[in-house]
Amino acid sequence: MTTPPWLKTGDKVGLVAPASYVKAEELARFLAILDSWGLKAKLGKNLYRRKNSFAGNDDQRAADFQQMLDDPSVKAVLCARGGYGTIRIIDRLNFSGFSRNPKWIIGCSDITVMHTLIQKTLNTESLHAIMPRHITEGKKDLSSLESLKNALFGNLNSYVIKPVKNNRQGEASGILVGGNLSVLYSMRGTKLDIDTSGKILFIEDVGEYLYHIDRMIMNLNTGGKLKNLSGLIVGGMTGMKVSVSGFRKTANDVIYDAVEEYHFPVMFGFPAGHIRPNMALIMGREVTMHVEEKECKLNFRLIR
């Protein structure tokens, strides 16, 4: 995998909204944070547009993203929010400039589309991390931002978390792939269908009916996406809903049951996704996961 250059003081970061719309007041705090890090923000021309639920129409959102991909002075492209709409602009983008000058693409949720494309077709790392619209005043968000800063400046090496129920102990290494489960499910059978063989898969989701989680994880399982994993990391599974049908297994129990027949390590409760904190993950990076009785570790391969 290609590692984009680490950021340094004075570098320029592009802000775009490839999916749902965002308001200027929602980004003010993050723009101040970027400035405190010594980074300069370049705002997409159409950043604050709105077309129905989208941040402008498909052409406008694609134009902003393309501008940031092609500008060699922009060292990272940060997605202001997720929502829905990234898949609608993928085929409008030309990544030839990105290939010549790789840069960090940053976001989560709907931005899972970008992470998968960049890893699968461009063999380049990207960052699953907190997005500007989601930042609040809380201490947990400060942890999220610190992890994003460490990742961008080349200082993110490892995480240690407490073990939780359903973990399966063991150690595994592999390329880190994945993101939002619903988005991964929506790309099944397309050119963006995720490759999981020998990989460590990260999944998270929010606001789904529990039987939807079962349907999606069973789709991955029957499609052979789970049996050849090196390891599985489960992030936030928050705001889950119980349907009138009475399906009441928790999301973690659904996932545990789906992988029970396999032998790779499983780490539940990783602090990433639609939760606070939402710690940065280097997607496409080789990682090693250790799931033990007293603690769990995720180590990123060091890049000099």
The bridge status of strand 200-206 relative to strand 170-180 is parallel
Hey, CA dihedral for 45, 34, 279, 232, is it positive or negative? positive
Question: Is 274 among the catalytic positions?
Answer: yes
Kind and range of the H or E run holding 118: helix 112-122
**Count of other CB atoms within 10 angstroms of residue 76:** 22
**Count of other CB atoms within 10 angstroms of residue 153:** 16
Alpha carbon separation from 71 to 44, 88, 242 (Å, rounded): 12, 22, 46
pLDDT the model gives residue 202: 99
pLDDT the model gives residue 176: 98
Which of 159, 239, 243 shows the shortest CA–CA distance to 202?
A: 159
pLDDT the model gives residue 136: 75
Whether residue 140 has pLDDT greater than 80: no
Residue 304 binned pLDDT confidence (cut-offs 50, 70, 90)? low
Question: Is 109 among the catalytic positions?
Answer: yes
Question: Is 243 among the catalytic positions?
Answer: no
Architecture of the domain whose range is 158-300: 3-Layer(bba) Sandwich (3.50)
For 12-152, CATH number? 3.40.50.10740
Q: Decide: residue 207, CB within 10 A, 0-12 exposed, 13-18 middle, 19+ buried.
A: exposed
Per-residue pLDDT reduced to its tens digit, 166-218: 999 999 999 999 999 999 999 999 999 999 999 999 999 999 999 999 999 99
Per-residue pLDDT reduced to its tens digit, 44-77: 999 999 999 999 999 999 999 999 999 999 999 9
In this structure, which amino acid lies at residue 294?
A: K
Structure tokens at 110: 């709907």
Per-residue pLDDT reduced to its tens digit, 75-123: 999 999 999 999 999 999 999 999 999 999 999 999 999 999 999 999 9
pLDDT the model gives residue 246: 77
Residue 134 binned pLDDT confidence (cut-offs 50, 70, 90)? confident
Residue 32 binned pLDDT confidence (cut-offs 50, 70, 90)? very high
pLDDT the model gives residue 16: 98
128-131: long-range contacts, CB 8 A cutoff, minimum separation 24: 128/179, 128/202, 128/272, 128/280, 128/281, 128/283, 129/278, 129/279, 129/280, 129/281, 130/277, 130/278, 130/280, 131/78, 131/79, 131/80, 131/81, 131/82, 131/106, 131/107
Residue 245 binned pLDDT confidence (cut-offs 50, 70, 90)? confident
Over residues 240-244, the mean pLDDT reads 87
Catalytic member of 204, 208, 212, 230: 204
What gap in Å lies between CA 225 and CA 218, rounded to an integer?
10
Q: What are phi and psi of 116, to 5 degrees?
A: -65, -45
Residue pair 235/289 in contact by the 8 Å Cβ criterion? no
Q: CATH 3.50.30.60: which residues of the chain?
A: 158-300
Q: CATH 3.40.50.10740: which residues of the chain?
A: 12-152
Query: What DSSP designation does 5 have?
Result: P
What gap in Å lies between CA 173 and CA 196, rounded to an integer?
13
Q: SS3 of 196, please?
A: coil
Sheet holding 40-43, edge to edge: 40-43, 12-16, 74-79, 104-107, 126-128, 281-283
Structure tokens at 11: 């570098």
Residue pair 53/88 in contact by the 8 Å Cβ criterion? no
List residues bridging with 238 in a β-sheet: 206
Catalytic member of 20, 109, 126, 230: 109
First to last CA, the chain: 14
The fraction of the chain above a pLDDT of 90, given in percent, is 94
Catalytic member of 128, 134, 212, 274: 274
Per-residue pLDDT reduced to its tens digit, 248-286: 899 999 999 999 999 999 999 999 999 999 999 999 999
Residue 148 binned pLDDT confidence (cut-offs 50, 70, 90)? very high
